């Protein structure tokens, strides 16, 4: 598949001055931040180093469950039984939901127990209920990780419990996972993330998210801690329609995690700002179509498109459209088929998707024959 580069769009000139990207320092040995409104990477430090995720691995357990719910293969009211063997292994083992032997627990409650309480027991009960065994569920986790492009991550269990190095992730991969959770399941994300507390069996536990109550719009994602991994946190917050996803890992104290997480997220919102480029539905360019009832398809903005730049910046933004092609029909309206690549002198490259502005059907029989002849004669 050949990558086509369409003609560059005109520069958007904000001014002639250019300044350096805003600096940030953190005690965390591993850090990463991305802006979902533009796709910009605002900060990275050892973002591709493989690390044990501790309970941040539970983000993938939740993602798998959300995916099955969206596909109609799992219902929030479905109930799974806590078997005695699972209870014996996970009762009071690290973070817990305090499930009891024989409890019939709904998927809804198990998800609250994972997202808000970080229950190791809840993860395993959910995994066994969905796939029959935890190892079978882990297979689903790794399949989804591959589909999401988490190329340097693998999972060995459903809750991130230390497993002699089998389970590893990277900060960049965790940010991909967090971003996908927000984008792929917005209603489920709103329903389960950002809850202050959850009660089960008469025991109320608070959400350990270090951003909640300290950063406006904070609602996710997951803390993690083991002796091996140190203190980590994958966070997300939205302010004025702009959502940031951050990852910090390897911190040496509970208090340090709070301090660094709040400082990091505030920097992301305060030192950077979005610049609107196109309204939703704006025609950006056209792309060639192979064997379609139209020879071209309109490339449009699927949502309001922004670039993220330092607040002190007055640089220029150049734009190019790329796609893998030729794009073969049929093409559905709203189908992602191209990428708008934004380049700024002070914030590097940012990429946002473009979608088809209309349906393109397959060409008729004679049109396909004529296209084949032109290709054979070198006229195509």
Q: Please confirm, yes or no, whether 55 is among the known catalytic residues.
A: yes
Query: d(Cα 146, Cα 154) in Å, to the nearest integer?
Result: 9
Asked whether the predicted pLDDT for residue 367 surpasses 60, the reply is: no
Query: d(Cα 40, Cα 51) in Å, to the nearest integer?
Result: 23
Asked whether the predicted pLDDT for residue 379 surpasses 80, the reply is: no
Q: What is the pLDDT of residue 275?
A: 87
- Report the range out of 37-41, 258-262, 276-280 with the highest average pLDDT: 258-262
pLDDT tens column, 71-85: 999 999 999 999 999
Global pTM?
0.87
Catalytic entry in 37, 38, 55, 313: 55
Domains of the chain in sequence order: 2-17+276-376 (2.60.410.10), 30-270 (3.40.710.10)
Which positions ≥6 away from 164 have C-beta within 8 Å?
none
pLDDT tens column, 71-130: 999 999 999 999 999 999 999 899 999 999 999 999 999 999 999 999 999 999 999 999
Asked whether the predicted pLDDT for residue 305 surpasses 50, the reply is: yes
Query: d(Cα 356, Cα 297) in Å, to the nearest integer?
Result: 6
Q: Please confirm, yes or no, whether 3 is among the known catalytic residues.
A: no
Query: d(Cα 380, Cα 370) in Å, to the nearest integer?
Result: 10
Q: How confident is the model at residue 311 (pLDDT cuts 50, 70, 90)?
A: confident
Q: Please confirm, yes or no, whether 118 is among the known catalytic residues.
A: yes
The answer to which of 108-117, 246-255, 323-332, 333-342 has the lowest mean pLDDT is 323-332
Catalytic entry in 118, 153, 261, 313: 118
Q: What is the pLDDT of residue 1?
A: 45
When the pLDDT of each residue in the chain is averaged and rounded to a whole number, the result is 90
Per-residue buried b or exposed e for 60-84, using 16+ beta carbons within 10 Å of the residue's own CB: bbbbbbbbbbeeeebeeeeebebee
Residue 244: other Cβ atoms inside 10 A: 27
Query: d(Cα 314, Cα 311) in Å, to the nearest integer?
Result: 8
Q: How confident is the model at residue 11 (pLDDT cuts 50, 70, 90)?
A: very low
Catalytic entry in 38, 58, 158, 179: 58
């Amino acid at each position: 598949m050949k990558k086509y580069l369409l003609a560059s769009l005109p520069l958007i000139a904000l001014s002639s001055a250019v300044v350096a990207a805003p600096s940030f320092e953190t005690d965390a040995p591993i850090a990463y931040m991305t802006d979902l409104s533009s796709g910009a990477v605002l900060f990275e430090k050892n973002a591709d180093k493989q690390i044990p995720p501790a309970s941040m691995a539970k983000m993938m357990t939740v993602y798998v469950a959300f995916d099955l719910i969206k596909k109609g293969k799992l219902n929030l009211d479905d109930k799974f039984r806590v078997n005695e063997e699972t209870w014996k292994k996970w009762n009071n083992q690290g973070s817990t939901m305090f499930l009891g032997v024989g409890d019939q627990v709904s998927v809804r409650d198990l998800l609250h127990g994972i997202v808000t309480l970080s229950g190791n027991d809840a993860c395993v009960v959910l995994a066994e209920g969905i796939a029959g065994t935890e190892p079978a569920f882990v297979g689903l986790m790794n399949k989804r990780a591959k589909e999401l492009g988490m190329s340097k991550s693998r999972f060995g269990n459903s809750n991130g419990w230390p497993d002699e190095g089998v389970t590893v992730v990277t900060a960049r991969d965790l940010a991909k996972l967090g971003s996908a959770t927000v984008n792929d399941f917005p209603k489920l994300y709103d329903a389960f993330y950002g809850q202050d507390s959850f009660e089960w069996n008469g025991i109320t536990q608070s959400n350990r998210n270090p951003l909640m109550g300290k950063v406006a719009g904070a609602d996710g994602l997951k803390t993690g801690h083991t002796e091996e991994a140190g203190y980590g946190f994958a966070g997300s917050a939205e302010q004025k329609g702009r959502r940031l996803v951050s990852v910090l890992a390897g911190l040496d104290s509970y208090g340090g995690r709070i301090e660094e997480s709040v400082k990091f997220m505030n920097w992301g919102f305060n030192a950077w700002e979005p610049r609107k480029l196109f309204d939703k539905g704006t025609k950006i360019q056209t792309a060639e179509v192979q064997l379609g009832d139209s020879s071209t398809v309109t490339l449009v903005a699927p949502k309001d498109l922004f670039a993220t730049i330092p607040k002190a910046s007055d640089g220029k933004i150049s734009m190019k459209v790329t796609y893998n092609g030729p794009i073969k029909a049929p093409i559905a309206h709203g189908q992602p088929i191209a990428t708008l690549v934004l380049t700024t002198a002070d914030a590097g490259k940012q990429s946002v998707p473009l979608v088809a502005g209309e349906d393109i059907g397959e060409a008729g029989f004679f049109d396909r024959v004529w296209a084949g002849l032109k290709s054979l004669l070198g006229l195509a």
